Chains A and B, each alone.
Chain A
Amino acid sequence: MILDTNVWCGRWHSRKLSFNTPEKLEKHLRSSGITRAVISTADAVFAGDPQPWNEDLSRSLSGRESFFIHAPVINPTLAHWDDVLTAYAFDSARAVRLLPGCHGYPINSSELLPFFRMCSRFGFTVLVQMRMEDERDHHRLVQVPPVKAEEIIELAGGFPYIDFLCLSACFSEAVALSSGVKNLYVDMSFAEKMNTVAGLIARVPVSQVVFGSHSPFFYTEAALLKMKYAEVSREDKNLIMGGNALRILASDQSEF
């Protein structure tokens, strides 16, 4: 089983995305050997309110629930976040995705505490998108700073029952995030140096590293080859490729 924790559909303002519909993306990911994927819509990233785009994606995922796990994009600074969160909880959603950089708030702001309390109550895994693109690739009018690792570490310490999955962290951020905070997890889509995966789990517990490709922004094969050539044990590979993500995302593991 390969569970990809970091995929997108939709459009992006500064580049064409291949496989940008659930149908195309599922076909592509399945042909790459991926068995399940956590998806959000890129259309929601710069929308005034992400919810209409989440709703569009929910509709287009109909019939594809056995492959995709929808992580709706939530902006917790908007007035109706509690209604949205409650609706997704009743809809059996398992995870929500936050983009503090793009939506312009510090994730450890005291104003967001009620939001995280509700996430904790509903048992949501909180996906935190550290960045969408390499900062050097931004359009000059859309320069979004990455989320600060120390803010997430502080927040996670206050909510030990929420699993925070930090997506698209670079290598040094991934190390900082998952060293010493047990409820912080990282994907390896952006982390890169020689022998990436072995280097990462030499520094952080393997139980906190999950597979993510950031497709279709990135070639899916790049993440798959990082794992193929990773100099780690078969047991550790299995944990990263699916076991760890399954533990934090599945309410009922039998459905996987």
Chain B
Amino acid sequence: MSITDFHVHSRLDPGPCETPGEMIRLAKKCGIGRICLLGDVLYFGEDPSEEQIRNINDQTLELVDKWPDVFLGFCFLNPKLSENFLRAEAERCLGHQSFKGIKLEIAVNAADPRVDKVMRIAGDMDAIVVQHSWNTEIINNRRHQSDPEDVAVLARRFPRVRIVMAHITAASQRGVLAIAPCENVWTDVSGAQPVGGTVEYAVDKLGSERILFGSDAPGRDFSAQLGKIYGAQIPERVKEMILKDNAQKLLESS
């Protein structure tokens, strides 16, 4: 079984190293065989329209059709749009056998009540929700960005929906503790610099089953992001779980 990367974005206007073919080549070189494709979520800014959302998801649909053995799709949604649109778009994407869930970025904070309608749709369709998070202490845009504490609020409101909180390295130990009590929250190690110590702390507090490998490519380098796992002072078996088994288990349950 190869490594699953739970956090990769496609590009609507890719640079030379960012084309899907090139990303697959570089990923495979590092042992990554399965890639969760979350869409080019910031291409149109933080608050994309219905047409822009469809545009982003059209590309993901095209790519999972073209590379079904590698890509798994996630449907990008903006919770500020109407429930009718959100449900129709989720049905359009999640009707495809290679789609596994919904991606939420920075249109609104995760604790915003407007996210509820997306969570109801996710619950109805048994979809995993990947929620962007960061440490907003410095970036100071909590109206749009979500702290781990906000993800925990959302998780408590919808305890039956499986949430993957992205970018645990960005909020580090504080983020780990915020989501620790929420059994329906997994986290990925994608993005940010390969700051030491976070993975060990996450394994200690969350256990070894709720942590997923993610890179945030093409904004990041597969190899450097893998260094967070291979360089962590954790048992080899736990590394295997983070790189492979945990994602497999979560995706199979969707």
Q: Which residues of A contact B (CB under 8 A)?
A: 15-18, 133-140, 143, 190, 192-196, 199, 215-226, 228-230
Q: Does B223 contact A (CB under 8 A)?
A: yes
**B residues near A16, Cβ cutoff 8 Å:** 197
Contacting pair A229 B193 (CB below 8 A): no
Contacting pair A15 B172 (CB below 8 A): yes
Contacting pair B195 A15 (CB below 8 A): yes
Q: Considering only CB atoms, which chain B residue lies closest to A194 in the complex?
A: B17
Contacting pair A222 B26 (CB below 8 A): no
A251 to B164, CA, bound (A): 52
Contacting pair A219 B231 (CB below 8 A): yes
Task: Name, among B193, B195, B217, B230, the residue most crowded by chain A CB atoms within 10 Å (CB to CB).
Answer: B193
Q: Does B221 contact A (CB under 8 A)?
A: yes
**A residues near B232, Cβ cutoff 8 Å:** 219
Contacting pair B221 A192 (CB below 8 A): yes
Q: Does B13 contact A (CB under 8 A)?
A: no
A16 to B230, CA, bound (A): 19
Q: Which 9 A-B pairs have the closest CB atoms?
A: A221-B231, A222-B227, A219-B231, A222-B194, A194-B17, A221-B227, A225-B223, A229-B223, A222-B224
Q: Mark B130-149, 1 if CB is under 8 A from A, else 0.
A: 00001101110000000000
**A residues near B195, Cβ cutoff 8 Å:** 15, 133-134, 137, 217-219
**B residues near A136, Cβ cutoff 8 Å:** 134-135, 138-139, 170, 192
Contacting pair B231 A194 (CB below 8 A): no
Task: Name, among A139, A143, A195, A215, the residue most crowded by chain B CB atoms within 10 Å (CB to CB).
Answer: A195
A230 to B170, CA, bound (A): 25
Contacting pair A17 B139 (CB below 8 A): no
**A residues near B230, Cβ cutoff 8 Å:** 219, 221, 225
Contacting pair B193 A195 (CB below 8 A): no
A-B pairs under 8 A by CB, number? 114
Contacting pair A140 B194 (CB below 8 A): no
**B residues near A221, Cβ cutoff 8 Å:** 194, 226-228, 230-231
Interface size on B, residues (CB 8 A): 38
Q: Does B196 contact A (CB under 8 A)?
A: yes
Q: Considering only CB atoms, which chain A residue lies closest to B194 in the complex?
A: A222
**A residues near B224, Cβ cutoff 8 Å:** 192, 196, 222-223, 225-226
A134 to B18, CA, bound (A): 23
A-B contact pairs, 7 of them (CB 8 A): A136-B138, A194-B217, A195-B26, A218-B195, A218-B196, A223-B227, A229-B26
Contacting pair B196 A217 (CB below 8 A): yes
A133 to B193, CA, bound (A): 9
Contacting pair A135 B221 (CB below 8 A): no
Q: Which of these, A18, A138, A226, contacts B197 with CB under 8 Å?
A: A18
Contacting pair A226 B223 (CB below 8 A): yes
**B residues near A222, Cβ cutoff 8 Å:** 194, 223-228, 231
Q: Does B48 contact A (CB under 8 A)?
A: no
Q: Does B30 contact A (CB under 8 A)?
A: yes
Q: Mark B217-247, 1 if CB is under 8 A from A, else 0.
A: 1111111111110111100000000000000
A228 to B221, CA, bound (A): 12
Q: Considering only CB atoms, which chain B residue lies closest to A216 in the complex?
A: B196
**A residues near B18, Cβ cutoff 8 Å:** 194
**B residues near A195, Cβ cutoff 8 Å:** 17, 26, 221
Q: Considering only CB atoms, which chain B residue lies closest to A228 in the complex?
A: B223
A195 to B29, CA, bound (A): 11
**B residues near A228, Cβ cutoff 8 Å:** 223
Taking the closest CB of chain A, its distance from the CB of B103, in whole angstroms, is 20
Contacting pair B221 A194 (CB below 8 A): yes
**B residues near A218, Cβ cutoff 8 Å:** 193-196
Q: Does B155 contact A (CB under 8 A)?
A: no
Q: Which of these, A17, A193, A220, contacts B231 with CB under 8 Å?
A: A220
Q: Considering only CB atoms, which chain A residue lies closest to B224 in the complex?
A: A222
Q: Considering only CB atoms, which chain A residue lies closest to B220 in the complex?
A: A192
Contacting pair B217 A192 (CB below 8 A): no
Q: Considering only CB atoms, which chain B residue lies closest to A139 in the complex?
A: B137
Taking the closest CB of chain B, its distance from the CB of A217, in whole angstroms, is 6
Q: Considering only CB atoms, which chain A residue lies closest to B173 in the complex?
A: A15
A17 to B222, CA, bound (A): 24
